[in-house]
Structure formats: structure tokens, C-alpha cells
Structure 1
Amino acid sequence: MTSIVMITGASGGIGRALARQLSAAGARVVAVGRDGTKLEDVDAELRVTADVSTAEGAALALAACQDALGASPDGLAHCAGSTLIAPLHRTKLEAWQAILRANLDSAFYTLQAWHAARGGQAGAAVFCSSVVARIGVANHEAIAAAKGGVEALVRSAAATYAAQGLRVNAVAPGMTDTPLTAPMLGMPALREAAGRQYPLGGLQSAEQVAGVMAWLLSEGASRITGQVIAVDGGFTTIRPLVK
């Protein structure tokens, strides 16, 4: 297991679950988020308030880790992001720009700052994409475009920095039961309908997605780079036999 892992978006459902799993495995976790009060109960050795959707914020987070722990994180889990469910013709400019900042800009700046902090040392990074970047889902144009950019960033960076021993991967979850999706899943009928979309049935839990991310950061995945692993109950690749 990587020894120091920085988790951006650590106050979200997946970020919190990953922090618990990594801390339990003995990693030194650095939790990063825009709102420091939401980080107070996250399992972490260090909590950093920073907005990684800006280059300055991402650099601040890495510098804070170096100053407090005496080393840069050899593991990076980028869980920061937001979503938008709206068709293209109803997506205002401000909403489009906000989605790009929260998802794509944050991924680019965080990876850039982490690479600089590593100074040529090996490490592993994992990012959060979405099934909507891999298969067409109605009313998801903005978030699909942003997450598609994240996947392209992951593959290109994995190629660029493989010789330095940096592994860069991503997970692409389906709808996951987190506070972010709670408004969409509040009614039992809506939750049941959402779960029926997935061949394995039901929704992903934050712990299930975090488990795959933790593995991608571990030595067990030491030959894995440039990959996007769908954690989606088969949603993007299979169609079950209809009975």
C-alpha cells in the first residue's frame, strides 16, 4: 500500500469511504476539500482546506502535505467533482463552466501539481470518471464531456509518465449511493427504478467504488496503468438475458 495518500474531495461519499479503507490499511491519509468543516470527521492524519479546481489551490494542497508530513504523497486519489443532469439546450454557460472546473480543471491541476511534487519519484494516482463518459445517457451532456476529458487525461498522462514509474488510472462508477445522489434516490420507487438499470441489480455503494480505487493504488495493481475500470454492475458492457 502507498504510504501517504492524498484524497481530494475527501468530504464526499466516495472520498470518505476511501479514507476509512486506506487509514485502516495503515496509510497516512491527507484529506483535501474546499470546506474545512466538512473534513473534521474524515479519517485522516492531515486535513487541508484547498480548492483544487485552481492551479494555486492544487499547489497549496501538495505543499501543505510536504510541510506537515515531510514528503509528497506517493498516492493520489482525485474524488473531487460535481454532477449535472440537464439536456444540452437547457445547460446555461455558468453551469457548463462550473462542471468543467469541478471535474476536468480540478483533475488537470491536481495531477500537474502531484507530478511536480513527486520530482521524478514513482507513485500511483486514481481518478473518478463516470459511466456517462462511456455510454450515452440522456441529459448528461455536460458531465459526460467533462468526465470524458478526465479519461483522456488519464490515458495520456499514463503514457507520458510511465517511464518515471507513475501509474495513472481511473474508475467509472455507475450511480452510487452517496449524499450527492441522495436527492435523486429519496423515494423508494426511484431507487428501485435506478437499480433495475444495472445487470447485477441495485446501486453501487461508496465502499465498493472506494475498494477498487484502493486496489489501484496498491502494489497488487503494480502492472496496471492507463486504465478506466467501470464499477457499474455491468451497465456499460453487458445486457442481461430478459426473462
Structure 2
Amino acid sequence: MTSIALITGASGGIGRALVNHLRAQGFQIAAVSRDLGRLADIDAHLRIAADVTTPEGAAAAVETCLGGLGAAPSLLAHCVGNTLIAPLHRTKPEAYRDLIRVNLDSAVFMLQAWLAALKGTPGAAVLASSVVARIGVANHEAIAAAKGGVEALVRSAAATYAAQGVRINAVAPGMTDTPMTSGLLSMPAMREGAAKQYPLGGVQSAEQVAQVLAWLLSDQASRITGQIIPVDGGFTNVRPLVK
């Protein structure tokens, strides 16, 4: 039987790249977004409109996948997220709560719904974190807190469900060229400045991040669980050579 992959945030840059990557490998794809219209050009077997920042929406996404494709998804890629670049003293409570809802609440509820659907069978999940949860970056306090929660969730859930044959990991991308970052990267000075922060240079593509997500879901990563894999051109561990 062909494995089913449920991809949330499928209308975003990394989500779209992952849909294409897994589709080419022969997986059945259930693509999820809050707005069904944003999935119109996604090459998926099933398109699902659901707000996975709520437990009801997350459960509905999994149930719709089961009903539409005939089985629960053995693979989950949770790519939902937004960001906020602001120092803590300028972060409004409503903006902070929205950030937690979109990044951390969605991860908890989606993982919970997916695990319930597995009913004790093996599976693999990968969630999206960020380099800002792994190294201090100025003006990123709120998103660092949210993604730090995601990373803690991954480690604990991986420990709980390892005996079931479930693997749970995350990727922590650095600056990636996606629609979410297009405003910043459209300015040549900002793109050049961002590229210089990374030891390997340049700004990575959504496809480069999606390749690591896909690998973590594959049998090639069958001995990997509870890990956070930085996809960041060396940003978190190496300092670039200044010339």
C-alpha cells in the first residue's frame, strides 16, 4: 500500500516544495490549508480546508484524510507557522498569543490528532522549528519561545511513542526564500546582508529545506527520532569567515 502523507501548511513555500517532492516519490498526498482556494494549484490527491490551530480543526483534517484516501496518514509534515520580528517590549499581547496559537498550539493539536489516528501503528512525523529557537537572535523573542516549545514537544513525544515505532523529529531552517520572507528578501541590501550571516553563503531555497523534511519521513532515517536538524548553512554552529 502506498504511504499517505498529511502535509499541513501546504500552501506555504516549504509546504508546496514538500508536496512536490513527496508526490514525485509516489506518496499519496493530503494537503491542508485554512483556505481551500490556496490549494487549487497544489498537486495533491486530496485538498483539505482546516484550521489546525484548534483541536477540532486538527481532528477534522485527519478524519477527512482517512475518509478521502481510505486510511490514516502514516506520515505527517506539520509546516504551519508564522513569524514576528519585534523586541519583547514592542510585542503586543495579542500578537504574542496569535504567534503561540499558530506555531505551538497547532503543533500540539496536530500531533495529538495524528497519533490518535495511528491507533498504535508505526509512523513518522516532522515539524517545523527555526534557528531562532537554537541560538539567540535579536528581536525574535516571541517566535523563539514558540518554536522552543515545538522542539521540546518533539523530544518528549518522541520518547513517549518510540516503543510504538513512531518517529518524531523537526527541522530548524534558517532564512529561507519563501513568500513569507519575500518582503525582506526583495530588498537587495537585506538579501545581501542575510546571505553574509551564513557560513555557506547565500539564502537557501524552500526545496532545500523540503529535501531534509522528506528524508526525515523516509526509511533512510529509520534510526532517527527526537532530533532537531538545523537546515541553516551552518548558522547555529559555525561563524562565517569575515573577509
Specify if TM > 0.5: yes
TM-score per shorter chain, which class? over 0.9
Offset, 1:190: 1.0
Please say if residues 2 and 74 of structure 1, whose CA atoms lie closer than 8 Å, have aligned partners that are also in contact: no
Residues 217/64 of structure 1: CA separation in 2 closer, same or farther (3 Å cut):
same
Aligned equivalent of 1:69:
69
Q: What is the SS of the residue equivalent to 2:71? A: coil
Secondary structure of 2:58's aligned partner: helix
| TM superposition shift of 1:240 | 3.3
Q: Distance in 2 between matches of 1:22 and 1:89?
A: 42
Which of structure 1's runs of 4+ aligned residues deviate more than 2 A?
240-243
1:61-116 CA deviation, whole Å, 9 max, x = no partner?
00001111110000000000100001100011100000000000000000000000
Asked if residue 25 in structure 1 is aligned to residue 25 in structure 2, the reply is yes
Aligned to 1:40: 40
Residue 236 (structure 1) aligned with residue 232 (structure 2): no
How big is each residue's C-alpha offset from its partner over 1:5-44, in whole Å with a ceiling of 9 and x where there is no partner?
A: 0000000000000000000000001000001000111121
Q: Unpaired runs of 5+ in structure 1?
A: none
Task: Give distance in 2, aligned partners of 1:231 and 1:2.
Answer: 28
Q: Give the equivalent residue in structure 1 for 2:225.
A: 225
Matches within 5 A, 1:1-243: 3-243=3-243
CA distance in 2 between counterparts of 1:227 and 1:179 reads 27
The runs of 5 or more residues in structure 2 that have no matched partner are none
- 8 Å CA contact 1:2–1:218 kept in 2: the answer is no
Cα shift readout 1:94-143 (whole Å, capped 9, x = no counterpart): 00000000000000000000000000000000000000000000000000
Q: Secondary structure at the match of 2:180?
A: coil
DSSP 3-state at the match of 1:89:
helix
Identify the range of structure 1 (233-242 vs 59-68) with the bigger mean alpha-carbon deviation.
233-242
Report the CA distance between 1:2 and its aligned residue: 7.1
TM-score w.r.t. structure 1 length? Answer: 0.98
Give the C-alpha shift of residue 187 in structure 1. Answer: 1.0
CA-to-aligned-CA distance 1:186-210 (integer Å, 9 cap, x gap) = 1111101110000000111000000
- What SS class does the counterpart of residue 213 from structure 2 fall into? helix
Number of equivalenced pairs: 243
Q: Provide the TM-score with structure 2 as the length reference.
A: 0.98
Conserved? CA contact 1:2–1:217, under 8 Å: no
Name the SS of the counterpart of 1:117 in structure 2. Answer: helix
